Structure 1
């Protein structure tokens, strides 16, 4: 996998309790059990579910979040998260 991990900062706002927080995730390309390339999210060195699809409020546990991404670091050429090559 030639590309370096991407650092992506996200800001979160819980629509249930109004708690706000942020986190910087490292996004790496990994192979799944079928040999396909997938994005894997890491927070503080530990693998975590995608904050975009499975995020939860750290205070009340609600899934009703407003998420804003702030790009840090470099993106692969063409702006795509992943490029699949045979």
Structure 2
């Protein structure tokens, strides 16, 4: 396991995730992930750290409202979200 860095396109949102050396990302069949090609690496919240940009995040929810899709309000990129299937985690 090691910490990996991520973020949005403009750099306003920055995060890190503690992930295995070999990552296995999975697809999702929800309409928003399917249309954007978003792949999931679901991790427990304690293995996710938001380093910058909390004030730049905007949330989009639909259907049951359980999933929280978080987008950078500057560039529009979704770097992570809280999945409906694992509301206690981040993807």
TM norm structure 2 = 0.28
Higher strand share: 1
Question: Which structure has the highest helix share of the two?
Answer: 2
Structure with bigger gyration radius: 1
With a CA cutoff of 8 Å and minimum separation of 6, indicate the structure with the bigger relative contact order: 1
